[in-house]
Amino acid sequence: MRVKLAAGNWKMNGTRAALAEVDTLVAEHGAASVEVLLCPPATLLGAMAERIGDAQIAVGGQTCHPEASGAHTGDISAEMLADAGATYVILGHSERRADHGESNDMVRAQARAALAAGLKCVICVGETEAERDAANTLDIISGQLAGSIPDLSTGESLVVAYEPVWAIGTGRTPTLDQIGEVHDYIRAELERRFGTGVGRSVRLLYGGSVKPSNAADIFAVSNVDGALVGGASLKAADFGGIIDALEQA
């Protein structure tokens, strides 16, 4: 039985004033029947974890360095995220891959470090629009899965997010059939590599312009175990609507 997961990626948004949204989420969804995760900018991580207190909302980082410490100005290690209260980290988001040149090898190294620090990894994969138009989607996903996911992954420690790059922040989403095709493919790839026990227990999230109005349809697709949500996770009312839809799925 996979526990459904609603994950919010705040990206580079939010100052301490935004923690008021977290108060609302705690009040209205702090004991949800699905798992809820918020990944704020690193500057807010500790304060958010404190604010959440005992409520059932996890916090996570948005990336981490593969090393535990050292001369890496501006970077943050997995240990530091864990020390600030994180239990998850998003890795390989397409914005990190594009803006910071993070390759599959780099993402795999980050994931190894995260696992060693006791963090669960949300590893993102997804094709660009040109790759989909060229009918290369499944090949791209296959390469990203093989290259980005470390061998040590388990059903407990690994979450895979399918995020078509062209759907992130654009208001566009794939058809439900397209989402289902990729999620079924990811499930089959994970079962082939890790065996059915692990392969069937890894949670698969869809990400890309999820909002309260389309969440229920997306959550009804096979092998969709939740969502990774960007823009709509910034407001408690919107993210709460997505959590509600996931609870009812």
Spatial distance between the Cα atoms of 29 and 23, rounded to a whole number of angstroms = 10
Q: How many residues bind ligand PEP (CB under 6 A)?
A: 14
* Residues from 169 through 198 that contact ligand PEP (CB under 6 A): 169
Question: By CB under 6 A, is residue 117 in contact with ligand PEP?
Answer: no
Provide, rounded to whole angstroms, the least separation between the CB of residue 151 and ligand PEP: 25
Between 180 and 230, CB nearer to ligand PEP: 230
Q: Which of 168, 205, 215, 242 forms a contact with ligand PEP (CB under 6 A)?
A: 168
Task: Please check whether residue 143 is in contact with residue 125, taking contact to mean a CB–CB distance below 8 angstroms.
Answer: no
- Give residue for tokens 């990811």: 186
Helix 137-148 to helix 176-201 angle, to the nearest 10 degrees? 30
Question: Which residues 6+ apart lie within 8 Å of 6 measured at CB?
Answer: 32, 34, 35, 36, 37, 226, 227, 229, 239, 242, 243, 246
Q: Residue 93 has which token pair? A: 């988001």
The token pair at 220 is 């009804």
Q: Does the annotation count 93 as an active-site position?
A: yes
Distances from the Cα of 5 to the Cαs of 1, 27, 58, 206, in angstroms? 12, 18, 10, 10
Separation of first and last alpha carbons in the chain: 14
Closest to ligand PEP by CB, 79 vs 167, is: 167
Q: Which residue is nearest to ligand PEP (CB)?
A: 230
Name the β-bridge partners of 7.
37, 228
132 versus 194: smaller Cβ distance to ligand PEP: 132
Residue 163 interacts with ligand PEP (CB under 6 A): yes or no: yes
Cβ closer to ligand PEP: 163 or 225?
163
Residue closer to ligand PEP by CB (options 29, 97) is 97
Spell out, one character per residue from 199 to 228, where the chain touches ligand PEP: x when CB under 6 A holds, - when not.
Answer: --------xxxx-----------------x
- Interior CA angle at 215 toward 218 and 52, to 5°? 125
Q: Which of 93, 102, 131, 183 is catalytic?
A: 93
Least separation in angstroms between residue 11's CB and ligand PEP is 6
| Among the residue ranges 42-50, 102-110, 161-169, 215-223, the one whose residues contact ligand PEP (CB under 6 A) | 161-169
Distance CA 230, CA 209 (A): 7
Question: What is the 8-class DSSP label of residue 163?
Answer: -
Work out whether 149 is an interface residue with ligand PEP (CB under 6 A). Answer: no
**Do residues 141 and 181 make contact, with C-beta atoms less than 8 angstroms apart?**
no
Q: Does 164 bind ligand PEP (CB under 6 A)?
A: no
Using CB under 6 A as the binding rule, whether residue 231 contacts ligand PEP is answered as yes
Cα(47)–Cα(50) distance, rounded to whole angstroms? Answer: 5
Provide the minimum distance between the beta carbon of 227 and ligand PEP in the complex, in angstroms, as a whole number: 8
**Residues tagged active-site:** 93, 163
Binding residues for ligand PEP (CB under 6 A): 9, 11, 163, 168-169, 207-210, 228-232
